[in-house]
């Protein structure tokens, strides 16, 4: 019995170290715990030339230690004078690699996303978060080193015609390559005592995309700050800005605010 209690305590003490993998703009290779449910409400947008914003409601569920799924719904005023429902997307991630040691681990996963969107296609960027119908698939790897977590991903996107009769314009890219590099650091607490302590995480993420053969690409930097309360409630703030940009898109110079609540052991 003593050995079981010790194992439970050690596991509980290790869990907060993974907080710095909860990236704001990207997904890590790690998954939610089995039978856990996460609910997100997110708003992101820009202020120039006019204030435009998009809200996302997202549900996440851990099917097993290796598989998790997401479902998202989108509304925005990007393409209209008022907010309107744009469509939705589904996402799945399969973790295929886990190398665990004390306060360290290395994870690898494959992921796929499908979106169905009802919006006119006016931008060069292919993005499945409310702008384009399409498919995305890729690889992500994440390394945890005590309070520092590093993650990188590469993916391929294929755009389809949008619902509502919105075909891809002539000359519009149908294929895109995306890549990310993210770093997260657990700043607080300095010393872990229990789950009720507030976690403060700092992030810097590089977000890039290119349309092969079109001469269209960009690379953004997105610093972020994150608070986690009672190990269940999460608050994110981020702002992404271009390092360089040669693509017409909605995502440049964009703020992000997100609320997330997690339910465990359902």
| pLDDT tens readout for residues 143-186 | 999 999 999 999 999 999 999 999 999 999 999 999 999 999 99
Do residues 56 and 130 make contact, with C-beta atoms less than 8 angstroms apart?
Answer: yes
The encoded tokens of residue 116 equal 């169905």
Domain containing 81 equals 19-264
Q: Flag whether pLDDT at 2 surpasses 70.
A: no
Answer whether residue 102 is part of any domain: yes
Listing DSSP states for 170-206 in one string gives: TT---EEEEEEEEEEEEEE-SS---TTSPEEEEEEEE
Tens-place pLDDT, residues 85-95 = 999 999 999 99
Number of compact structural domains in the chain: 1
CA 224 to chain centre: 12
Do residues 208 and 179 make contact, with C-beta atoms less than 8 angstroms apart?
Answer: yes
The encoded tokens of residue 68 equal 């998790």
Do residues 101 and 109 make contact, with C-beta atoms less than 8 angstroms apart?
Answer: no
Answer whether residue 8 is part of any domain: no
Average pLDDT over residues 103-108: 94
Question: How confident is residue 230, by pLDDT bands cut at 50, 70 and 90?
Answer: very high
Angle at 136 between CA 133 and CA 141, to 5 degrees: 150
Q: Flag whether pLDDT at 116 surpasses 50.
A: yes
Answer whether 0.85 is exceeded by the pTM: yes
> Which pLDDT belongs to residue 13?
36
Q: Flag whether pLDDT at 10 surpasses 60.
A: no
Q: How far apart are the first and last CA of the chain?
A: 25
Answer whether residue 138 is part of any domain: yes
Question: How confident is residue 5, by pLDDT bands cut at 50, 70 and 90?
Answer: very low
Answer whether residue 13 is part of any domain: no
Q: Flag whether pLDDT at 205 surpasses 60.
A: yes
Q: CATH no. for residue 213?
A: 2.40.160.40
Q: Flag whether pLDDT at 243 surpasses 50.
A: yes
Answer whether residue 142 is part of any domain: yes
Q: Flag whether pLDDT at 8 surpasses 70.
A: no
> Which pLDDT belongs to residue 103?
83
Answer whether residue 3 is part of any domain: no
Question: How confident is residue 19, by pLDDT bands cut at 50, 70 and 90?
Answer: confident
Higher pLDDT, 179 or 252: 179
Percent of the chain with pLDDT over 90: 88
Q: Flag whether pLDDT at 6 surpasses 90.
A: no
Answer whether residue 14 is part of any domain: no
Answer whether residue 5 is part of any domain: no
Q: Flag whether pLDDT at 81 surpasses 80.
A: yes
* Mean pLDDT of all residues belonging to the chain: 92
Question: How confident is residue 220, by pLDDT bands cut at 50, 70 and 90?
Answer: very high
């Amino acid at each position: 019995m003593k050995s079981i209690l010790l194992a439970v305590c050690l596991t509980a003490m290790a869990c907060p170290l993974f907080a710095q993998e909860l990236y704001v703009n990207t997904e890590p290779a790690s998954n939610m715990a089995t039978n856990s449910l996460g609910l997100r409400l997110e708003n992101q947008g820009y202020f120039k030339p006019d204030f435009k914003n998009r809200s996302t409601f997202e549900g996440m569920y851990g099917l097993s230690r290796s598989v998790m799924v997401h479902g998202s719904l989108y509304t925005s005023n990007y393409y209209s004078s008022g907010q309107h429902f744009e469509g939705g997307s589904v996402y799945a991630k399969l973790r295929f690699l886990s190398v665990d040691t004390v306060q360290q681990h290395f994870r690898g996963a494959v992921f796929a996303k499908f979106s169905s969107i009802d919006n006119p296609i006016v931008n060069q960027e292919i993005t499945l978060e409310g702008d384009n119908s399409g498919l995305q698939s890729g690889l992500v790897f994440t390394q945890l080193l005590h309070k520092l977590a590093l993650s990188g991903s590469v993916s391929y996107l294929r755009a389809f015609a949008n619902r509502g009769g919105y075909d891809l314009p002539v000359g519009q890219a149908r294929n895109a390559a995306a890549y990310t590099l993210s770093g997260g650091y657990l700043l607080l607490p300095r010393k872990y005592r229990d789950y009720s302590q507030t976690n403060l995480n700092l992030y810097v993420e590089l977000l890039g995309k290119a349309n092969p053969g079109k001469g269209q690409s960009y690379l953004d930097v997105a610093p972020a700050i994150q608070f986690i309360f009672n190990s269940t409630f999460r608050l994110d703030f981020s702002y992404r800005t271009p390092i360089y940009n040669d693509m017409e898109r909605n995502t440049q110079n964009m703020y992000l605010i997100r609320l997330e609540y997690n339910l465990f052991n359902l």
